[in-house]
Structures are given as C-alpha cells and as structure tokens.
C-alpha cells in the first residue's frame, strides 16, 4: 500500500468507492464523521482524506463547506463519482418483499420516484453502507438498503434493483485533502484553485471583488456563500476558479480580490478531474 486514506462512512460507502477510484493503491480507513476524517489527516494517522462536497441532485454538503476553511488542510485533488443507487436485500429476497428501504438522508431524495412507484417507505440511516450491513445482519426480507454494488459485495447482499436513481447524471464531487499543499503541478489539462474570502464592509464589495475575474478572463466555476460565527452579517464565500495562482491573469484577479476583502484563504490548487468536462 502507498499510504492510507480516510473517508466518512463504513466500508462500501460511496466515499469508499471514491477512494478506490482516486487512490486505488491506498488503504481505505472508515471514519464516523467528516470531522474525524479531518482530524485523522491533521494528526498524521492517515496520509489523505476523502470528503464529499456536493451532489448534482441533492446539492452541497453544508457541513463540509463550513469545515474546510478551518481544517488546516489542503485540497490536492478532486474526484467525480457517478452515484448509482441500488436496492440491496438479503439473499433470496425479491423486490416484491421489500416494504422499507434504508439510506442516508442525502440519498433518499435521489431515488424518491422509484420508492414511491413501488410502495417502499424510505427510512433514514446515518450511512448507506451501514444500512447495508444492518440489513445483512437483520436477515429480514422486508428491509432493504440503498447503497452501492460495492456494499452488496462486502456484506453479501443481493442487488434487487440496479441504478434506481431518478436522475441519470447523478454524480457526487469529492475532494482529496492533505496536510501539505502541492502547488508544483501543472499537467496538460485545467488547474482548479479553490479559496474562501470575506468581503470588506463597503458598498458593492462583492460586485467589485468579482470584477477582477471578469476583466482578467478567469472563469469562476463555483461561488457559494454561507454564514459564519453565528451572525447574519459575517458571510464567507467559497469559490472555484480555473487556473493556477501563478498564472498572470489569475494573479491579477486575486490581487484585486484582496483589495476588496478582509480575508482570502487558498484551500487548494489541483488538476481538474477528467469528469469535470
């Protein structure tokens, strides 16, 4: 093994699948929470951490967006995982046997149409892979799990229905976190720079801060806001742009951004995943 990579969830989770896809030569280390993943990387218990940040159907993972700026870690890669939701049951069960399906609160809306069409009640579980393990342990044909085929293999379950997600392009974006930044890579494709910032308390500060990216031809692929510190006035912004901080146009845009902000924090510089498009 080249190293160890922590992920949130149990073996068989989609985060585990992301680890296999992005770092197949690393030992996957299950973790209960996102905070535990971050803590393990920060302490040096593992080499890398895998964090889910957004899903094309559900939206952003709010806990992670507020955790990243204070984590003290650096983004070194991204990975897009096609999330195929499968209905997993105990050996010998059939789709007609299933009365309830257990899955994470994020995954239930992703297959709501299928569940309604088959009269199956969705039940919230803390983790999709945990749901699969508990279904396997329970041995009840009326209970199923919403999880990956990897989970079916690990826990010895039958796939009663494959790819039941409502949206054909259902995809989750993950970020690979490290204790040390890596600003040396360039590669042949696009580079992504992720950062957070707080605007100064002046009129039209956000408009002015964004102007530098437009005038310097820097493509901003993501801009999100969230409140920090329990106040409605202290708003932080999370952004992704195409380019490297040392690119002349990016450097000029960031310089202008700093003029209108009270804080800018670079979270990572990394190659764009091939699935980004």
Q: Which residues are catalytic?
A: 172, 174
CA–CA separation, 112 and 121 (whole Å): 9
What is the secondary structure of 144-180 as a DSSP string? EEEE-HHHHHHHT-EEEES---SSTT-EEEEEEEESS
Residue spans of alpha helices (H) in the chain: 14-22, 34-43, 62-71, 112-117, 128-138, 149-155, 205-215, 248-259
Give the closest residue to 144 by CA, choosing from 113, 108, 172. 108
Beta bridge partners of 51: 175
Token pair for 247: 């690119």
Beta bridge partners of 102: 123, 145
């Amino acid at each position: 093994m080249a190293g160890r990579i922590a992920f949130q969830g149990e073996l068989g989770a989609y985060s585990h699948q992301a680890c296999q896809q992005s770092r197949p030569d690393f030992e996957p280390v299950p973790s209960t929470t996102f905070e535990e993943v971050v803590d393990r990387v920060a302490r040096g218990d593992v080499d890398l951490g895998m964090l889910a940040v957004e899903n094309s159907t559900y939206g952003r993972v709010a806990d992670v967006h507020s955790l990243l700026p204070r984590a003290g870690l650096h983004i070194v890669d991204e990975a897009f995982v096609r999330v195929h939701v499968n209905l997993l049951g105990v050996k010998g069960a059939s789709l007609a046997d299933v009365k309830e399906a257990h899955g994470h609160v994020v995954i239930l809306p992703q297959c709501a149409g299928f569940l309604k069409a088959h009269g199956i009640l969705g039940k919230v579980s803390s983790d999709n892979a945990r749901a699969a393990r508990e279904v396997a342990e329970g041995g009840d044909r009326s209970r199923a799990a919403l999880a990956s085929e990897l989970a079916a293999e690990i826990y010895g379950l039958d796939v009663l229905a494959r790819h039941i997600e409502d949206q054909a392009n259902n995809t989750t974006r993950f970020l690979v976190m490290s204790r040390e930044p890596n600003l040396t890579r360039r590669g042949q494709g696009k580079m992504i720079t992720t950062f957070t910032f707080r605007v100064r308390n002046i009129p039209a500060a956000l408009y002015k801060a964004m102007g530098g990216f437009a005038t310097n031809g820097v493509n901003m692929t993501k801009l999100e806001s969230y409140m920090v510190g329990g106040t409605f006035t202290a708003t932080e912004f999370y952004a992704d742009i195409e380019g490297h901080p040392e690119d002349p146009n990016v450097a000029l845009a960031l310089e202008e951004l700093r003029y209108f902000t009270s804080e800018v924090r670079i979270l990572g510089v990394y190659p764009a995943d091939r699935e980004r498009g």
